[in-house]
Structure 1
Amino acid sequence: MFCHVKTSAAQLEYQAFVTLATNDSYARGAMVLGKSLRNHNTSRKLVALIGPQVSEPCQSVLKRIYDEVRMVDVLDSGDTAHLAMMKRPDLGVTFTKLHCWTLTHYSKCVFMDADTLVLSNIDELFDREELSAAPDPGWPDCFNSGVFVFCPSMETYGKLLQYCTEHGSFDGGDQGVLNGFFSNWATADISKHLPFIYNLSSIAIYTYLPAFKYGGNAKVVHFLGKTKPWSYTFDPKAKRITGSTHEATAHPTFLLDWWSLFSSAVVPMLQEQYGDQPFHSGCVEVMETHSQSNNSLQPQLSSEERKEKWEQGQADYMGMDSFDNIKRKLDTFLK
């Protein structure tokens, strides 16, 4: 589990940041992550592992941002009992993360979940050894598997799969497997404990007051929890985020950073790929423009025809019958 540190300029291309997207939602997160790494001038390669559910338009955008986009099989823990206990059935496919050890054309990598955002250059992480990671905010004796340094190896990959078969995962997800496999992380070598500025939870309430000030130096923010940045709606003009309210965000500034980057750098690329096909960007401005363009292209239906379409379950959700249009009519009626 030891890998040689390669730091010469000629050898930098054998080191890479790696992420994983198993569907289009996480692909959007991966796009923002890749853009944030590029914006902060990383000298390393960028690799995205994707599942077969990622659509062609999203694959095309990822290929513009990442040096390598590789399709992998989706591994599922099948551990419904533990995942149900955590109320996170979606975590099963995170076992797919284990594929990152098969990237043996790289000597050392830093894995980053697709729901992370880079706030400054973090290339210094490649000076760390496998398995370096930050403590989990909910259980400090375990590392959080959202950001970690590793060395690709088919031998390690085989041992991880064997460990899964024999022991499973204590939490039903990849974090349980990795902590079980690298079980001496908490006690063996403190140099493998990354400062929490490399994996700052966006929802954790840090009760130690100076931690908030220290958090201002954060280098990576991790949008932990079930509600992800792409679950919200963003108004680029007003710089306002609306949507999911059942889960508090302790650092709304980071959420705004994510949406600002997504709306300015990623949405134009997605629009280019989708063309005239409807897609939900989450940006109010884009949705309204798309709705207007759809309306101008389509013949106007009579009230009777629209009623018939509704009854057939064929409402024009992207145009006349969009939520915004219905809300606007209701507001007018109620006035």
Structure 2
Amino acid sequence: MGGNAFFTLLTSDSYAVGAVTLAASLKDFDPDVCVCVLVTADVSDGVLLSLNRVFDEVIEIGLLECHGTTYETVLERPDLKDTLTKLHLWDQEQYSKIVYLDADTLPVKSMRTLFDVEVSETVIGACPDIGWPDMFNSGVMVLKPSKATYKALIDTYKTKQELIDGADQGLLNVFFENNWLHIPFIYNVAFSGAYQYRPAFLHFRDKIACIHFIGTNKPWTSTAPNDLLAPYFDKWWSRFAQIRAFAQLPGYSVPLASETAALKDSSQSLAKLSDVPVKAETIRTSANWNPALGPPPADTLPEGANLVYSSHVNAWDQKRPDRSASQRGRSKHKNTMKALSKSLSKTRIDEEE
């Protein structure tokens, strides 16, 4: 059996940008720990290539969809329908202990200490959920892989037709109801609008190890919803700006130096510069063409006809109104008389001297 590893999950291209940024951030603090990602068949080939550049191991798994509609009707989160695929974590017995993080988390300190949590095949470590602290949040977990636990989880998945959230967190809280160890909230900090949250956040923010961008406000899709999260949105964009060129993630171009600087300044700037992720097959060949390295791709179309022609004339380049011949004649006569008068005056002065 192998050693420890960080894991995340990707069931589509929509969270790919979050996954590569998470991997890069984990390696910033703990470069010697293996970083892995579980992927399903819905992840495109282009994104798979990017994942293989950033992650130490990319593991393909089958999709497990949620039962019921709670995740959609109550939470209004249709993106949660694939989260039960997370159960495959317990099938990864090639590792002795796993620290799992959702792809929408951002470590801002080392997460290595979580490997010291004393978990077993039937006991996991997790942080309390911000919505109901008697439950745990499944966005960050410490677990020991086990085929037996994996089978028991799959059996529970097949028999439990309706869960509190209709997704993985509800099922895992049922399965590990009295068998989870409390991990400090600083390892999975989610935002809450509760009145006591702000003073607590400000008091403990220097201890925060990992931010969890729960809900629909992700750094790659929106601006920070409040001033508390804004610095972490900036941190996320700053790290993504550094990794995006190496990852070569389809749908994301390399930022200019000026853009990178702006990305670090404020989340308002980030909103204007943020990209919209698209699948690899929608990227035109010409979008990846570098004119410095070769001729245009053969399958591209001429675009000269689409150019908009316009002209600009400076005010000082405008022609002056035309004058009549008599006006031009009078002007020349005056200039001639001035020149003669000046010459005669100079001659008199010379003679007097």
Q: TM-score, normalised by structure 2?
A: 0.69
Q: How does 1:308-323 map to 2 (within 5 A)?
A: none
Letter in 2 for 1:225: G
CA distance in structure 1 between the aligned counterparts of 2:66 and 2:105, rounded to whole angstroms: 23
Looking at structure 2, the residues matched to 80 and 184 of structure 1 have their Cα atoms a distance apart, in angstroms, of: 26
Greater Rg by CA: 2
From 70, 90, 104, the equivalent of 1:101 is 90
User: In 2, Cα distance between the equivalents of 1:141 and 1:152?
Assistant: 24
> Residue in 1 aligned with 2:280?
none
In 2, the alpha carbon distance for the partners of 1:300 and 1:174 equals 52
1:124 maps to what in 2? 113
**C-alpha deviation, 1:184, in angstroms:** 0.8
Map 1:162-173 to 2 at 5 A.
162-168=155-161, 169-173=163-167
SS in structure 1 opposite 2:238?
A: helix
Q: CA deviation at 1:135?
A: 0.3
Residues in 2 aligned to 1:131 and 1:150: alpha-carbon distance in whole angstroms = 5
Structure-2 residue corresponding to 1:133 = 126
Q: Is the 8 A contact 1:203 1:223 kept in 2?
A: no
Match of 2:221 in 1: 231
The offset of 1:86, in angstroms, is 1.4
- Say whether 1:200 aligns with 2:189: yes
Corresponding position of 2:246: 269
- Is this contact kept in 1: 2:70–2:164, CA < 8 A? no
| Structure 1 spans left out of the alignment, 5+ residues | 1-10, 233-241, 307-335
Q: Which residue of 2 aligns with 1:299?
A: 303
How far is 1:167 from its partner?
2.1
Inter-partner Cα distance in structure 2 for 1:268 and 1:218? 28
Secondary structure of residue in 2 paired with 1:172? coil
- C-alpha contact (below 8 Å) 1:203/1:224 kept by paired residues: no
Aligned to 2:232: 254
- Range with greater deviation from structure 2 (114-123 or 52-61): 52-61
Residue 147 of structure 2 corresponds to: 154
Residues 118, 295 of structure 1: CA spacing in aligned structure 2 closer, same or farther, 3 A cutoff?
Answer: closer
Cα distance in 2 for partners of 1:205, 1:281 equals 38
User: How far does residue 19 in structure 1 lie from its aligned partner after superposition?
Assistant: 0.4
Is the 2:7–2:98 contact (alpha carbons within 8 Å) kept by the matching residues of 1? yes
Q: Which residue of 2 aligns with 1:92?
A: 81
Match in the other structure for 1:41 = 30
Residue 159 (structure 1) shift: 0.5
Question: Match for 1:154: what amino acid?
Answer: K
Asked whether the equivalents of residues 130 and 192 of structure 2 are also in contact (C-alpha less than 8 Å), the reply is no
C-alpha displacement of 1:64: 2.0
Is the CA contact (8 Å cut-off) linking 1:200 and 1:215 kept in structure 2? no
Does residue 1:17 correspond to 2:21, yes or no? no
How many Å separate the matches in 2 of 1:214 and 1:94?
Answer: 30
After superposition, the Cα gap between the structure-2 partners of 1:138 and 1:155, relative to the gap in structure 1 and judged at 3 Å, is: same
Do the aligned partners of 2:40 and 2:62 also contact (CA within 8 Å) in 1? yes
Distance 1:118 1:157, change over 3 A: same
Alignment deviations for residues 34-77 of structure 1 (CA, whole Å, 9 cap, x no partner): 10011012432111001112222221221122221011111101
Contact 2:188-2:211 at 8 Å conserved across structures? yes
Deviation at residue 280 of structure 1 after TM alignment: 4.2
CA-CA distance at 1:300 after TM superposition: 1.9
Code of the aligned partner of 2:246: M
93 and 249 in structure 1: CA distance in 2 versus 1, 3 angstrom threshold: farther
- Name the SS of the counterpart of 2:42 in structure 1: coil
Deviation at 1:302, TM superposition (A): 4.9
Q: Secondary structure at the match of 1:301?
A: helix
Whether 2:172 is the aligned partner of 1:182: answer no
Shift of the 293–110 alpha-carbon distance from structure 1 to 2, 3 Å rule, reads: closer
In the superposition, relative to structure 1, how do residues 292 and 101 fare at CA in structure 2: closer, same or farther (>3 Å)? Answer: closer
In 1, Cα distance between equivalents of 2:65 and 2:252: 28
Per-residue deviation, residues 246-294 of structure 1 (Å, max 9, x unmatched): x5463111111011111111x20244x65xxxx2459685989x99998
3-state secondary structure, aligned to 2:37: strand
- The 5 A counterparts of 1:50-69 are 50-69=39-58
CA distance in structure 2 between the partners assigned to 1:106 and 1:184 by the alignment = 25
Q: Which consecutive residues of structure 2, in runs of 5 or more, have no partner in the other structure?
A: 261-272, 275-283, 297-301, 309-353
Q: 1:292 to 1:52 in 2, by over 3 A?
A: closer
SS in 1 for 2:84: helix
| Structure 1 stretch displaced more, 290-299 or 197-206 | 290-299
Task: Specify whether residues 131 and 292 from structure 1 end up closer, same or farther in structure 2 by C-alpha distance, changes over 3 A only.
Answer: closer
Secondary structure in structure 1 of the residue aligned to 2:241 = helix
